Amino acid sequence: MIPIAQPIIGEEEIQRVTEVLRSGELAAGRYVKRFEEKFTEFLGAAHGVAVSSGTTALHTALAALGIGPGDEVLTTPFSFIATANSILYVGARPIFVDIDEKTYNLAPGALEEACRRHPGAKGILLVHLYGHPAPMKEIMEVAERFGLKVIEDCAQAHGAVYGGKKVGTMGDAGIFSFYPTKNMTTGEGGLVVCQDEEVALLARRFVNHGQEVRYTHRELGYNFRMTNFQAAIGLAQLEKLPGFNERRRANGERLTAGINNPKIITPVEIPGCRHVYHQYTVRVKGPQGDKEREQFVEHLRQQGVGCQIHYPQVIYRQPVYQGLGLNGSCPVAEQAAREVVSLPVHPALGQGDLEQILQAVNSYR
């Protein structure tokens, strides 16, 4: 079975982790500091704060931007649940906004309409979904008109580019995840980036028990620190990230060029954007409606092709959100949730794998 994702770990990562073990400096330290510096340099950001996961990065970014109890934050319903959960963690309320049917990112028109319905909203939490940049020009224009903070969830978009700038550098803060299935990994881990020094200082205190000086705690904080083990892996992975992304793009382009099944709609790359294909996500259309995808997935697995549905349910339909009375009405996102399927696109694929995927997709009837 061709796996849907496959982390690539080599001798460089093993050597860096061995260095940490031999140093005896296992918790947060100089490796973390070096990783923060290298990753922010890669992005072109001013400041970076490494954390324990993408989820804690979201939590930290919201808190550092002053979003808290009673605030409303406009966000997508079509993402991993951590995106919206982080809003709840700071006591704020997610307001779900519909998406663009081609890129699956927030739709600027729907966003502006939501701003008018919620004039007291404090922020926008967008996602660069599947590795394709969100429409940052339009989103930032809406944010400026309504005085909103912007957080970019770049958990799936390491190195993606919009208008010549890497994602994560255009909003008030950006976050990254380094989970094993991402374009690069630290095992677990995350990072908050921003341009404002004060936001960076608040974030750094927040992830370290609220302390700026040892044993002097200025506010309630958490232990969200990254370890030197994670940072050591990240330093090696970051050097490989451009190559990983090029292979993902090449694999995505090969799949798009080779898929000729009229039931399958392939992903797009909007002009001015550079997709990094964290996922290669297609839509399944056919006369059997909602059952069409189910049959397509079964066909792929019988053909030895792993696949995954990202995501089968919009966030506000999740039981926990229904229980909290947090509803939404996003028909484009709901339709996408019924039709999307992600195919393997990761850098470990060989030409034989790509041909097998294409044969499986094109032979579906």
Domains assigned to the chain: 11-237 (3.40.640.10), 241-362 (3.90.1150.10)
Task: Give residue 103's pLDDT.
Answer: 98
Check residue 168 and give left, alpha or beta (phi > 0: left; psi -120 to 50: alpha). Answer: left
Quickly count: other Cβ atoms within 10 Å of residue 37's Cβ.
11
Q: Does residue 192 carry a pLDDT above 90? A: yes
Task: Give residue 289's pLDDT.
Answer: 76
Task: Residue count of the chain, please give it.
Answer: 365
Report which DSSP code applies to 127: E
DSSP codes, 131-167 = GPPP-HHHHHHHHHHHT-EEEEE-TT-TT-EETTEET
Report the percentage of the chain scoring pLDDT > 70: 100
Tens digit of pLDDT for each residue in 239-296?
999 999 999 999 999 999 999 999 999 999 999 999 999 999 999 998 887 799 999 9
Q: What is the distance between the terminal CA atoms of the chain, rounded to a whole angstrom?
A: 21
Tens digit of pLDDT for each residue in 86-132?
999 999 999 999 999 999 999 999 999 999 999 999 999 999 999 99
Sign of CA dihedral 4, 226, 235, 105: positive
User: CA-to-CA distance for 16 and 11, rounded, in angstroms?
Assistant: 9
Q: Does residue 8 carry a pLDDT above 80? A: yes
User: CA-to-CA distance for 187 and 141, rounded, in angstroms?
Assistant: 36
**Alpha helical stretches, state H, the chain:** 11-23, 30-43, 54-64, 82-89, 108-117, 136-146, 197-206, 228-258, 290-302, 319-323, 331-339, 351-362
What predicted TM-score, i.e. pTM, was given to this entire model?
Answer: 0.97
Helix (H, G, I), strand (E, B) or coil at 188: coil
Average of per-residue pLDDT values in the chain:
97
Tens digit of pLDDT for each residue in 328-352?
999 999 999 999 999 999 999 999 9
Cα atoms in the Cβ-side hemisphere of radius 13 Å centred on 100: 21
Q: Which helix (H) or strand (E) holds 280?
A: strand 280-284
Task: Give residue 344's pLDDT.
Answer: 98
Chain-centroid distance of CA 193 in Å reads 14
